[in-house]
Amino acid sequence: MPRLIDADALCRVLNDHWLATSPSDRDTAEVAAERAAMCRGLDAAMRIVGQMPTVATDINVPRKWISVKDRLPEKDGQYLVCLNQTHLMVVPFAKTLEDVDRDVFKGRDEPGWFEWDTEWCGFYEVTMVTHWMPIPKLPEEVSGDA
């Protein structure tokens, strides 16, 4: 399974190792050739690491699903949710359901997930949410993308 690494830290280690392998005036020709080959390899590794894709490290975007048993969102808004651990959808969340619709959620001074039903033109509570996460940001437009 692939794992995330800190490429900057890796490059610092490689650079430190490269500096430690600098030739000295006491090196034999064979040792100097080995050091030169090692330095070329380290330099190539640093170039490859620099070209690898990066992963966002925004602390506001969790890297995993959050169970509703652990916590609920802190703010009203739309969230990506998992229903019964089988279906994904975007669902609104309110810290106080009664603020969404005082008739439908009368007396419901509690947080909850809800949706708008287009057939009967009213709100209903979504009760099957097991996990949630903030909606990821849309990709930035890249030159040449269609």
The per-residue pLDDT for range 65-124, each reduced to its tens digit, is 999 999 999 999 999 999 987 889 999 999 999 999 888 899 888 999 999 988 888 899
Model's pTM, two decimal places?
A: 0.53
The residue range of the domain holding 89 is 66-134
89 and 112 together in one domain: yes
Q: Which residue, chain included where needed, has tokens 């269609």?
A: 146
Task: Judge if 83 and 125 occupy the same domain.
Answer: yes
Determine, yes or no, domain membership for 75: yes
Query: Under 8 Å CB-to-CB from 66, ≥6 apart: which residues?
Result: 131, 132, 133
Residue 44 shares a structural domain with residue 72:
no
Q: Which residue has the tokens 């810290």?
A: 95
Q: Give rounded-to-5 percent helix, strand, coil for the chain.
A: 25, 25, 50
Let me know if residue 60 belongs to a domain.
no
Domains identified in the chain, total number: 2
76 and 128 co-located in one domain: yes
67 Cβ contact partners less than 8 Å away, ≥ 6 residues apart? 130, 131
Beta bridge partners of 26: none
Is the distance from CB of 112 to CB of 125 less than 8 angstroms? yes
Contact 101, 123 (CB under 8 A): yes
Query: Looking at the domain assignment, is residue 145 inside a domain?
Result: no
Domain assignment of residue 146, yes or no: no
Answer whether residue 58 shows pLDDT above 60.
no
Q: What percent of the chain has pLDDT over 90?
A: 32
Residue 58 domain-assigned? Answer: no
Looking at residue 146, what is its pLDDT? Answer: 57
> Do residues 85 and 124 both lie within one domain?
yes
Note whether residue 16 is domain-resident: yes
